[in-house]
């Protein structure tokens, strides 16, 4: 909490008699009730001047003098508390400030509207800052009961549970903050998502870890988050078609970093009749100085030569593939879809979209979801994000390619 915010809550009066800034006709207290008795007022004015000069011992003595006055009114005590809180603010004794603010709750009739509006929230924040976490939780929940859409307070509650190692409720509060923000059309804060992920790790909840990383890559698509998500998604994966889709994504988000990954990606693309994509992958590996290094140079060079020859031959046959697809009277879309993959392999995305859409519409395809993934990626690379999202969502949940579609859908948001 900033000093400016604290000063607003304290709401000091520099004079003796009435509270500065309080409306004359305040509903809760009359003008008569809101006057400081003379002896208390004189002592508090001296205390306030001492605080301004940071003469805290003098200020404390004057506050004790005010406390010692007999027959004090409720407003006298309120003003004593106010000056004491002001002194504690300057000393950054936030726990002591919070304890005084709790006393304010007993005399709400003396508070200015801007003070009372956020007093409970400020108490929670002060107790958190002073590491009194049980009190911070108490006042956070009290505030959230009447302000359930305050994401900052859900976050404070989450952090309170985190430092006390209550990971279950920490994650619950962080996820609530995220949900409230999303429903309001806002992006959740990175810290909330990090808390959710960390708590899931502590609880050994792998599904929770994945869900947190999915949110992180959607809203904060850093290569590190993508790398961790993809690593978890690809563990123990044995389906080559799935791995090809995952390697494409790794390459797309900058998470493809190892020579063996480049080699396997290129080999899978070549085996899937997309030598153009395979060649591009190998060439990228050389450009990044991941492939072609001395230890494995011979093996990498052989792969480069092989995919280059295949790509040259394949691209030379592309006009023939186009003629065959145009002349075909087949009732299935296999030729059109296959041509679409060939276009996709050479980054010819406009043509790929047209052919893949045509093939999928005709139907009768073997492994149709492979073509849907290629279509969605083509749409995404042409800036057609909404169309790409719809294409990825069209992959059924029970499809082997559902995992790939979900990851690429997340990619479509950034």
pTM above 0.75, yes or no: yes
- CA-CA distance, 167 to 192, in Å (whole number)? 13
Are 102 and 34 in a shared domain? yes
Are 57 and 8 in a shared domain? yes
Q: What is the pLDDT of residue 13?
A: 42
Residue 91 in domain: yes
Are 8 and 103 in a shared domain? yes
Could you identify the residue written with the tokens 């450009």? 287
Residue 400 in domain: no
b/e map 53-73, b = 16+ CB within 10 Å: eeeeeebeebbebbeebeebe
Are 107 and 13 in a shared domain? yes
Are 46 and 82 in a shared domain? yes
Residue 326 in domain: no
Structural domain tally of the chain? Answer: 3
Are 74 and 157 in a shared domain? no
Are 105 and 163 in a shared domain? no
Are 278 and 182 in a shared domain? no
Residue 225 in domain: no
Are 110 and 144 in a shared domain? no
- Tens of each residue's pLDDT in the chain, 414 residues: 454 445 444 554 433 333 322 333 344 566 667 789 899 999 999 999 999 999 999 999 999 999 999 988 999 999 999 999 999 999 999 999 999 999 998 888 888 888 888 999 999 999 999 999 999 999 999 999 999 999 999 999 999 999 999 999 999 999 999 999 999 999 999 999 999 999 999 999 999 999 999 999 999 999 899 999 999 999 989 999 999 999 999 999 989 999 999 999 999 999 999 999 999 999 999 999 999 998 899 999 999 999 999 999 999 999 999 999 999 888 899 999 999 999 999 999 999 999 999 999 999 999 999 999 999 999 999 999 999 999 999 999 999 999 999 999 999 998
Domain stops at, among 116, 150, 178: 116
Contact 412, 380 (CB under 8 A): yes
Q: What is the pLDDT of residue 35?
A: 87
Are 206 and 143 in a shared domain? yes
Domain stops at, among 220, 240, 269: 220
Size (the chain), residues: 414
Are 14 and 103 in a shared domain? yes
Domain extent at residue 204: 136-220
- CA-CA distance, 121 to 189, in Å (whole number)? 20
Q: Which of 115, 98, 96, 97 is nearest to 23 (CA)?
A: 115
Residue 187 is given by DSSP the state P
Are 145 and 191 in a shared domain? yes
Residue 227 in domain: no
Q: What is the pLDDT of residue 106?
A: 87
Residue 54 in domain: yes
Judged by DSSP in three states, 18 sits in strand
Residue 384 in domain: no
Domain of residue 174, CATH code:
1.25.40.10
Side-chain-side CA neighbours of 40 within 13 Å: the count stands at 22
Domain stops at, among 200, 220, 240: 220
Residue 356 in domain: no
Contact 395, 402 (CB under 8 A): yes
């Amino acid at each position: 909490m900033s000093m400016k915010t604290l000063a607003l809550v304290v709401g000091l009066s520099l004079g003796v008699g009435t509270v500065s800034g309080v409306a004359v006709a305040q509903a809760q207290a009359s003008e008569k009730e809101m006057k400081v008795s003379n002896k208390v007022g004189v002592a508090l004015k001296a205390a306030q001047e001492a605080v301004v000069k940071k003469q805290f011992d003098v200020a404390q003595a004057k506050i004790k003098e005010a406390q010692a006055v007999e027959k004090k009114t409720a407003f006298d005590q309120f003003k004593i508390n106010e000056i004491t809180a002001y002194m504690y603010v300057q000393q950054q004794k936030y726990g002591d400030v919070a304890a005084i603010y709790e006393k304010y709750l007993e005399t709400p009739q003396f508070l200015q509207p801007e003070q009372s509006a956020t007093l409970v929230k400020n108490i929670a924040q002060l107790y958190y800052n002073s590491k009194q976490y049980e009190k911070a939780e108490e006042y956070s929940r009290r505030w959230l009961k009447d302000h359930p859409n305050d994401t900052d307070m859900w976050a404070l509650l989450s952090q309170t549970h985190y430092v006390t190692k209550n990971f279950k409720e920490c994650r619950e509060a962080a996820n609530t903050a995220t949900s409230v923000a999303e429903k309001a059309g806002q992006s959740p804060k990175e810290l909330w998502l990090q808390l959710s992920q960390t708590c899931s790790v502590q609880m050994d909840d792998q599904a929770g870890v994945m869900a947190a990383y999915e949110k992180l890559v959607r809203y904060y698509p850093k290569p590190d988050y993508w790398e961790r998500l993809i690593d978890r998604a690809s563990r123990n994966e044995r389906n080559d078609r799935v791995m090809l889709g995952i390697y494409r994504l790794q390459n797309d988000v900058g998470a493809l970093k190892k020579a063996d990954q480049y080699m396997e990606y290129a080999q899978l693309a070549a085996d899937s009749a997309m030598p153009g994509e395979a060649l591009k992958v190998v060439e990228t590996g050389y450009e990044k100085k991941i492939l072609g290094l001395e230890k494995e140079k011979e093996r990498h060079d052989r792969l480069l030569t092989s995919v280059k020859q295949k790509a040259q031959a394949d691209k030379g046959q592309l006009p023939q593939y186009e003629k065959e697809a145009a002349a075909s009277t087949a009732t299935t879309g296999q030729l059109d879809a296959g041509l679409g993959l060939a276009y996709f392999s050479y980054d010819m995305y406009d043509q790929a979209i047209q052919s893949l859409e045509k093939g999928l519409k005709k139907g009768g395809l073997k492994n149709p979801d492979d073509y849907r993934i290629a279509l969605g990626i083509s749409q995404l690379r042409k800036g057609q994000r909404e169309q790409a999202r719809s294409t990825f969502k069209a992959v059924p949940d029970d499809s082997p390619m559902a995992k790939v579609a979900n990851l690429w859908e997340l990619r479509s948001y950034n």
